[in-house]
Amino acid sequence: MGKKRKYKTGKKRSGGSVAMAVVLIGSLAVLALAVGLLWPQLGDILGAPQPDDSSAPQSSPGTTTTTTPSVAGYYVTTDALNMRSGPGTEYEVLGVLEAGKAVEVLGAEGGWYRISLMGQTAYISAEYVVPSTAAPSTTTTATQAGTTTSPQYSDRYIDGDGMLQFDPAGRYVQAASYPDGAEIPWALLLVNDWNPMKEGYDESVTMKSVESKYAQVNSGQKVDARMYDDLIAMLEAGKAHNIGVQSSYRAYSHQKRLYWKKVEALKRRYSDPIVLQTKAGEEVKRPGFSEHNSGLAVDLYGSGNTLLNESFANTAAYAWLIEHCADYGFILRFPKGKEAVTGVVYEAWHFRYVGDPAVAHAIMDNGLCLEEYLEQNRK
Ligand SMILES: [Zn+2]
């Protein structure tokens, strides 16, 4: 293979500096293009599914979001490295970052740096980056293209209460499918980015504390009392795998405080209210938009795995749950391949109570997600 590049052959006699400039501009374009190609998940930057658990559970190991402001700034990658969904190699790879690329580091978690490129939060190993004095123009351009002119912002708006909403056009809207104010069956309540849970709903529901032997990682777990017996029956039946509740109900009021605190903290970085709240929402779910606010969702541990990440899918506990959860009225809420419908990344640990085992089986046995089932069985 020839090491010489065409611009060095001297064919362009009009002047080396012009040729160099052409090559340089070409390289910048290639770099900008590479950013897009190497980050396939960022193709739909703001429509990119976020975890449903980005809501700072009261005390859950592995999901802390403490940041160290002193590390914040621009860095350059020293090698090609993976960009992951969380601070550790056990987290899903979201894309690959080439060597020599500039990234803006927002904070540190252990040996990992939290970064934001083109609107998505991700983590990279701190070992493969070195501080940079300035952000190279290519990355700045790419970032700006992704964050300030991205058309995906157009499907969001700020409502009369000052809360960021996602335009539900083209989506299943549960309230609209129960005409004349007909009551939605409590166990089928849909909570997602397009179907917020009403403020005050959870305060009208009786929550029941999960007995500590079924919540060995984080005590003080609560769920909707109406699903308690089915939950315990499931945990008992699967006790060979030591399945238990790691996190569960999170009060709307608590979520609300955390969310607006996050918005305040990011205010000086983002002036556009839609961008600001989108960024905040990537770290702390908007109140009413997490299924955990309803008391109908549980994040489960089992087989000694308490990581709340995709590795849970490799456990015997997970295999048992997938086979038996529907018998107790539970479903895997955020299956792989349904991210575009649920708006949430695959979460092997997050299970949802839907009540009737027949409904749960219709969902689990047919490879559906809750949104699809509700749409197919709309009122
Ligand atoms: Zn969850």
Q: Which residues contact 9 (CB under 8 A, 6 or more apart)?
A: none
Q: Dig out the tokens for 210 from the structure.
A: 């999960």
- Mean predicted confidence (pLDDT) in 249-259: 97
| Mean pLDDT for all residues in the chain | 81
- Predicted local confidence at residue 119, as pLDDT: 54
CA-closest candidate to residue 90, choices 275, 306, 324: 306
Partner residues linked to 83 by β-bridges: 95
Q: Which residues are placed with Cβ below 5 angstroms of ligand 1, an ion?
A: 53, 299, 350
Residue 145's Cα: distance from chain center in Å? 22
Residue 25 reports pLDDT greater than 70: no
**Do 142 and 104 touch, CB atoms closer than 8 A?**
no
**Kind and range of the H or E run holding 30:** helix 16-38
Report residue 22's pLDDT band, with 50, 70 and 90 as the boundaries: very low
Residue 44 reports pLDDT greater than 80: no
- Mean predicted confidence (pLDDT) in 44-70: 56
Question: How far apart are the CA of 47 and the centre of ligand 1, in A?
Answer: 19
Measured over the CA atoms of residue 150, residue 151, residue 156 and residue 160, the dihedral's sign is positive
Q: Which residues contact 320 (CB under 8 A, 6 or more apart)?
A: 238, 240, 241, 243, 302
Contacts made by residues 370-378, CB under 8 angstroms, sequence distance 24+: 370/190, 370/331, 370/333, 370/342, 371/172, 371/190, 371/192, 371/338, 371/341, 371/342, 372/338, 372/341, 374/172, 374/174, 374/177, 374/188, 374/190, 375/172, 378/172, 378/177
**Kind and range of the H or E run holding 174:** none
- Mean predicted confidence (pLDDT) in 163-185: 90
Report residue 117's pLDDT band, with 50, 70 and 90 as the boundaries: low
| 70-84, 138-152, 174-188, 311-325, range with the lowest pLDDT | 138-152
- Mean predicted confidence (pLDDT) in 91-108: 75
Question: How far apart are the CA of 262 and the centre of ligand 1, in A?
Answer: 20
Query: With pLDDT > 70 as the criterion, what percentage of the chain qualifies?
Result: 75
Report residue 105's pLDDT band, with 50, 70 and 90 as the boundaries: confident
- Mean predicted confidence (pLDDT) in 118-122: 67
The more confidently predicted of residues 42 and 83 is 83
For every residue of 198-245, DSSP letters joined together read PTTTGGGS-EEEPPGGG-SSSS--EEEGGGHHHHHHHHHHTGGGT-EE
**How far, in Å, are 24, 148, 151, 164, 374 from residue 145 at the CA level?**
20, 6, 10, 22, 37
Length of the chain, in residues = 379
Question: How far apart are the CA of 124 and the centre of ligand 1, in A?
Answer: 23
Question: How far apart are the CA of 55 and the centre of ligand 1, in A?
Answer: 9
Question: How far apart are the CA of 26 and the centre of ligand 1, in A?
Answer: 45
- Mean predicted confidence (pLDDT) in 272-293: 95
Question: How far apart are the CA of 350 and the centre of ligand 1, in A?
Answer: 4
Please give the order of strands across the beta sheet that includes 129-131: 93-97, 81-84, 120-125, 112-117, 102-109, 73-77, 129-131
Query: Which residues are catalytic, by number?
Result: 347
- What is the rounded CA–CA span in Å between residue 249 and residue 292? 5
- What is the rounded CA–CA span in Å between residue 351 and residue 328? 11
Report residue 55's pLDDT band, with 50, 70 and 90 as the boundaries: low
Q: Dig out the tokens for 231 from the structure.
A: 């939950």
**DSSP structure class, residue 92:** P
Residue 151 reports pLDDT greater than 70: no
Question: How far apart are the CA of 287 and the centre of ligand 1, in A?
Answer: 14
Please give the order of strands across the beta sheet that includes 330-334: 244-247, 297-301, 347-353, 330-334
Report residue 228's pLDDT band, with 50, 70 and 90 as the boundaries: very high
**Kind and range of the H or E run holding 143:** helix 137-147
Question: How far apart are the CA of 68 and the centre of ligand 1, in A?
Answer: 26
- Mean predicted confidence (pLDDT) in 3-29: 44
- What is the rounded CA–CA span in Å between residue 354 and residue 370? 9
The more confidently predicted of residues 44 and 78 is 78
Question: How far apart are the CA of 234 and the centre of ligand 1, in A?
Answer: 17
CA-closest candidate to residue 157, choices 269, 45, 42, 46: 46
Residue 128's Cα: distance from chain center in Å? 24
- What is the rounded CA–CA span in Å between residue 359 and residue 297? 16
Question: How far apart are the CA of 349 and the centre of ligand 1, in A?
Answer: 7
- pLDDT tens for 178-202 read 877 789 999 999 999 999 999 999 9
- Mean predicted confidence (pLDDT) in 295-302: 98
The b-or-e profile of 241-258 (16+ CB within 10 A means b, else e) is: bbbbbbbbbbbbebbbeb
- Mean predicted confidence (pLDDT) in 81-96: 81
